[in-house]
Amino acid sequence: MKLRYFSHSAFQMTTDNGKVILIDPFLDNNPTSPVKSDSVKADYIILSHAHGDHLGDTVKIAKRCSSTAICVDELANYLEAKGLNVHNMHIGGSYGFDFGRVKFTIAHHGSKTPDGEYAGEPAGIIISSGGKNIYHAGDTGLFYDMKLIGERYKIDYMLLPIGDNYTMDIYDAVKAVEYVNPAVAVPMHYNTFPVIKADPNVFKQKLEALGKKCKVMQYGEEIEV
Ligand code: NI
Ligand code: MN
């Protein structure tokens, strides 16, 4: 499976059977993304929550590519009313798709649509495909139940926010990595805007001092996971 980082919390996964999945595709209004929405493809779009910097260009991309949006029920209903194909899920539940399995976890944050509608609870996302488990923590503060995720899943890549203000800062994100114990931690949700300025190399150094692996992905970079 391939994992590409666009910046902020936006990633693209290409599974071994060739399915393309976007997570939180905030591209066109994202000052740090090297890629805009008209140049991406998606079979599926998985959303952590409905804030504009995560919902992003979902409607535009999904209409052009006939993608299926996978998200919590309330947000799925909103997107279905906009004409999208959706798969409604909710926190604690998982479902097997043709690319692998998706489970939604808790995330401590908020969520509402750009139209101001209630969009259900924000979520974290665990994607299992090709024998790998990727945990995208969404926007969240630190929570102790992350330990339960690490107990149940051998997480290969944990994608987690470090930018502070709206989410965990670097100190809390290091704790989160200790709780989940992934093979590799990847920082996200930083430096997109001045208010979430953070140095990912400080995060990396703190983790390495604890014997943990961290990959700081460049904007646009794609890696094999
Ligand atoms: Ni948010
Ligand atoms: Mn956000």
Cα 53 to averaged position of ligand 1 atoms, centre (Å):
7
Cα 1 to averaged position of ligand 1 atoms, centre (Å):
27
Helix axes 73-81, 58-65, angle to 10 degrees: 60
Using CA atoms, how far apart are residues 127 and 156, in angstroms rounded to an integer?
10
Lookup: tokens for 150: 């690490």
Phi, psi angle pair for 174, to nearest 5°: -65, -40
* Sign of the C-alpha dihedral computed for residues 145, 25, 62 and 122 taken in this order: positive
Q: Which residues of the chain have pLDDT under 50?
A: none
Cα 139 to averaged position of ligand 1 atoms, centre (Å):
5
pLDDT in the model for residue 222: 98
For ligand 1, a single-atom ion, which residues have Cβ within 5 Å?
51, 139
- Say which residues have a Cβ less than 8 Å from residue 139's Cβ, sequence separation at least 6: 9, 48, 49, 51, 54, 107, 109, 122, 161, 166, 167, 189
Cα 202 to averaged position of ligand 1 atoms, centre (Å):
23
pLDDT in the model for residue 99: 98
CA atoms within 13 A on the CB side of 81: 10
Could you give the percent of the chain with pLDDT greater than 70? 100
pLDDT in the model for residue 121: 97
Q: Among all ligands shown, which has an atom nearest to the Cα of 112?
A: 1
pLDDT in the model for residue 182: 98
pLDDT in the model for residue 210: 98
Sketch out the chain's domains with CATH numbers.
2-224 (3.60.15.10)
